[in-house]
Structure 1
Amino acid sequence: MTTRDDILLTAGDVELTVQAGNGCRAGSLRIGGTEVLRPGDHYGSFPMVPWCGRTENGRFKNGAQLHQLPVNDPPHAIHGTVRDSAWRTAHRTASEASFTYDLVDPWPYKGRVTQVFELAEDALTIRLGIETYDDSFPAQAGWHPWFLRRLTEDGPDVTLDFDAAWQEERGADHLPTGRRIDPRPGPWDDCFGMPDGVDVTLTWPGQLAIQVTSSAQWAVVYDEQPEAVCVEPQTGPPNGLNTLPRLVTPIEPLETTTTWTWRRL
């Protein structure tokens, strides 16, 4: 059944709250009593499905078929359709839970999305899968976590450490131009290519370090707001439905995983 109740997972002194009724987002992650995610109905960490980032003018093709998505970040469509929807709770234990969501209009294809959370005392692993037993369609999957810039009011700002093989050049329309350039210094609202898998470390000096890894090969880094920074593993670049389509078929689902591993400083 569909529930809007928050689900609390625990492992030692770590607490994860999953908001099944609000896009199946991680609404809170408290490590030893310290919150690391920006609170609020539109923040925490939400899944991006069935596309990530911006899709140009809300349009994409599947073969010769042109589709129009709602333009929710004019002039583009952004971050998929599942982040504001209620998901079904399929299974839960004290430290693990799984959820499902059936794709519906305005997404033009049938499919099922599964998200699984596995919490440990030193790590959180999240798995996303998209499957179909109907028509094949292009799709992307990823996550959009909002990590607090400061863990305490007078604490230090977080620092980011990563090596990327390239940066997707960003055009005036905030979409990749198609050129791959050498990574540039921030501030960023940019997509980086990491062909060996996403690997980014966030460090709050003297407090905490979180390593974000993923089987995905792209990450958008967004640090232009004073409250939080975002490290977004995703299976393709922004506008990838058009520029780098990955088909979900009845015999080949789309699956990806991210793990956040932390250590206290």
Structure 2
Amino acid sequence: MTLPSGQQVSLHAGSYEAVTTEVGGGLRLLTYDGRPLLMSYGENEIRPSYAGAVLAPWCGRVVDGRYAVGERQFELPLTEPARGQALHGLVAWSRWRLTEHAGASATWSIHLVPQPWYPWPLSITAGYALDPDTGLTWSVSAHNCGDEPAPVGLGIHPYAVAPSGGVDDWTLTVDAARIQLATADRLVPTGIADLPDAESLRRGRRLAGVSFDGAVTGLPLPGDGVRRASLVDANGDGVEFRWGAAGPWLQLFTCDDLPGDLRRSAVAIEPQTCPPDAFNNGIDLAWLAPGEHLELTVEIQALRG
């Protein structure tokens, strides 16, 4: 029987376990000492709400699925029809190829062929490596295999969870100064503004009554070159994300409009190279020259209070 997420590759290191998948080259499960660090799904389930997806060659939305490069106009398939948007790239539902699996690491790859709505050939890889001390290192990269510059944005889509309580009981900590504004109905970006109550988020904000579904930026790069975000429960147990200069944006989503039991069940913490609708607004959009490479690497580690 073919599983909805395809071939499963399990990784183990110390108290960590991860399961990566052929479909989307994604991450289905990540645990520490048996407790989930991320929202997972069963091997016989279709991945819900892009959980553990690799986002490429764009992250977030392309408004109306339309964008232009010079005089050329492109129209993408609308994968979020309720809002009329093209969501999260072109590779999340494709079958990838396992190119490496050794011990606690695995690498998946896919060759994105030129398409009428995205005519640039890319080689995209997703690498996973578990370490018993530092947790999971998740790397996503894109290489321009064509003969002209290609617009590229990369991201990942993990939903963080803490071991006790729910979203209203958890505390989110991230140092961000700015937020991309968007309309309430279709999440169409309208500009960038100062992030309200940025100081409380920097210190750690309890999420009772707090909703997020947007991209934040103004993420300072400390001397060690590592940006951080964490989600913990009342005991200080939870998960930390670490990434570097390649990810100046972070999408945050408290799952308020997910259906049924998924509603406010997790917090999506998604480092990204550019914000939603970068194909139109151009903000931090990478233009990869022929043969050029873009990579985003994120570490995910258990926190213990």
Cα separation, 2, equivalents of 1:30 and 1:123: 10
Q: Which structure shows the higher strand fraction?
A: 1
Asked whether 1:151 is paired with 2:163, we answer: yes
Cα separation, 2, equivalents of 1:154 and 1:103: 38
Shift of 1:238: 0.4
Cα separation, 2, equivalents of 1:110 and 1:169: 32
Between stretches 175-184 and 110-119, larger displacement belongs to: 175-184
Shift of 1:155: 10
Gaps of 5+ in 2: 42-46, 199-209, 257-262
Does the aligned pair in 1 maintain the 2:25–2:54 contact within 8 Å?
yes
Give the aligned partner of residue 182 of structure 1. 195
Does the aligned pair in 1 maintain the 2:99–2:107 contact within 8 Å?
yes
Cα separation, 2, equivalents of 1:16 and 1:26: 7
1:55-81 CA distance string (max 9 Å, x none): 010012222211111011131101111
Between stretches 98-107 and 159-168, larger displacement belongs to: 98-107
Does the aligned pair in 2 maintain the 1:96–1:116 contact within 8 Å?
yes
Cα separation, 2, equivalents of 1:247 and 1:195: 23
Give the aligned partner of residue 243 of structure 2. 214
Give the aligned partner of residue 118 of structure 1. 129
2:288 is aligned, of 233, 248, 253, to 248
> What is the letter of the counterpart of residue 57 of structure 1?
D
Cα separation, 1, equivalents of 2:163 and 2:237: 9
| CA 1:133–1:37: 2 relative to 1, 3 Å | same
Cα separation, 1, equivalents of 2:61 and 2:177: 22
Shift of 1:184: 4.9
Does the aligned pair in 2 maintain the 1:58–1:70 contact within 8 Å?
yes
Give the aligned partner of residue 40 of structure 2. 39
Shift of 1:7: 0.3
Does the aligned pair in 1 maintain the 2:30–2:40 contact within 8 Å?
no
2:275 is aligned, of 220, 229, 237, to 237
Give the aligned partner of residue 67 of structure 2. 60
Does the aligned pair in 1 maintain the 2:97–2:109 contact within 8 Å?
yes
Does the aligned pair in 2 maintain the 1:99–1:116 contact within 8 Å?
yes
Give the aligned partner of residue 111 of structure 2. 102
Q: Identity rate of aligned residues, in percent?
A: 26
Does the aligned pair in 1 maintain the 2:167–2:264 contact within 8 Å?
no
1:203-224 CA distance string (max 9 Å, x none): 1232623221222010010002
Shift of 1:51: 0.5
Does the aligned pair in 2 maintain the 1:198–1:219 contact within 8 Å?
no
1:9 is aligned, of 8, 11, 29, to 11
Cα separation, 2, equivalents of 1:191 and 1:28: 24
**What is the number of equivalent residue pairs in this alignment?**
261
Taking structure 1 as the reference length, the TM-score comes to 0.90
Secondary structure of the equivalent of 2:68?
strand
Shift of 1:127: 1.1
> What is the letter of the counterpart of residue 25 of structure 2?
C
After TM superposition, the runs of 4+ consecutive aligned structure 1 residues lying more than 4 A away are 152-156
Does the aligned pair in 2 maintain the 1:198–1:233 contact within 8 Å?
no
| CA 1:130–1:219: 2 relative to 1, 3 Å | same
Cα separation, 2, equivalents of 1:183 and 1:220: 16
Asked whether 1:82 is paired with 2:91, we answer: yes
Cα separation, 2, equivalents of 1:255 and 1:214: 11
Cα separation, 2, equivalents of 1:154 and 1:53: 25
Shift of 1:136: 2.0
2:152 is aligned, of 131, 135, 139, to 139
